[in-house]
Amino acid sequence: MANNMRMSDPYRAKKMRVYFRFSMIGVVCVVVVAVAALLMGGKNKTIDYTQSKFVQYDTPADSAPVVVFETTEGTFKAVLYEEEAPEYVKFFKGLVEDGYFNDTYACTMLRTGGVTGGFIAGSKTTDGLAADDTNRDMIDIEVSPNMLPTKGALGSLVREGGRFSSAKAGSVFTVLSDVVDIDALRSSADGDINGFMKVCDIFEKYGGVPNYLQMYTIFGQVYDGWDTLDKIFNTKIVDEDAPDDKEDKNLQPEHEIKFTKVFLSTYGEQKQNGFNIPLKTGSVKFKTTESESESKAE
């Protein structure tokens, strides 16, 4: 995979040290794992993409669940994929229905060399530290060959498993941007092993964060509100002018970014602007006729 996602760990600073830890009496979860581990690490799993149907780029049925994120920067919407990540989507929907994400924050920008790979969201605090009302539930990760971490993908943030434990996903999630170096990605494998070139074609078309592959649950895809997302992606960070190798570089947004209201709906209710996934060289809208939508809904 490309090397352009290597970045310093913002959680080494005293006020931003956030990690997952298992105790003898159960799982104690605080908000996020290290960004470096998020984007570069993980167990090496082999996924066969030769028969994959990348459902993120298909117009959803009107009945498909959608989550609407109203933020201080604007609104964006994402489809949730229950068949690809059933346990995590159930968990995530429960949090949304309980109003858990209302008044949470985008606490960290995933940025190196001035390039943004996305942001971490769903934190009860602006600095990413756990609060008394932080949800500490964790579930096993789910990896689907039909989902890729392309731009606008929603992914879980996890604690990597050990020898006797599996990786776990929690309440904090990421919204991914685009940092892919397609030439480096294509040259990182010897031939089309397990459909690798098919995956490369998707990243070349839509952009994304390929180092996020194989370790994290990808459970949703943004399809509307790209202006809002790009505004968040381009937010200045506290240590904007600091070099990437600065110890304890602060990647918090320079100004507060809050999720004011997060609620569930359906694509049928939230398709005013169509299903729009931007290409790296422009944008394309996927539209269905009313009869097609009704057929899918059935």
Q: What is the pLDDT of residues 49-72, one digit of tens each?
A: 999 999 999 999 999 999 999 999
**Three-state DSSP class for 36?**
helix
Residue carrying structure tokens 């309980």: 98
Q: Regarding predicted confidence, which is higher, 43 or 32?
A: 43
Q: What is the pLDDT of residue 45?
A: 61
Residue 280: both structure tokens together: 């790296």
**Distance in angstroms (rounded) separating the CA atoms of residues 129 and 124:** 8
Q: Regarding predicted confidence, which is higher, 236 or 29?
A: 236
184-213: pLDDT as tens digits: 988 887 778 889 999 999 999 999 998 765
Q: Regarding predicted confidence, which is higher, 73 or 16?
A: 73
CATH, range 10-297: 2.40.100.10
- 42 dihedral zone (left: phi>0; alpha: psi -120 to 50; beta): left
Q: What is the pLDDT of residue 157?
A: 75
Mean pLDDT of the chain: 79
Measure CA of the first residue to CA of the last residue in the chain; give whole Å.
40
Q: What is the pLDDT of residue 212?
A: 67
The residues that bridge with 106 in the sheet, in sequence order, are 121
220-266: pLDDT as tens digits: 999 999 999 999 999 999 999 888 888 889 999 999 999 999 999 99
Helical segments of 208-268, H only: 226-233
Domain boundaries, the chain: 10-297
The residues that bridge with 118 in the sheet, in sequence order, are 110, 176
Q: Regarding predicted confidence, which is higher, 139 or 297?
A: 139
pTM for the full predicted model: 0.80
**Distance in angstroms (rounded) separating the CA atoms of residues 68 and 78:** 7
Query: What's 73's DSSP letter?
Result: T
CB 207 within 8 A of CB 150: yes
Q: What is the pLDDT of residue 141?
A: 86
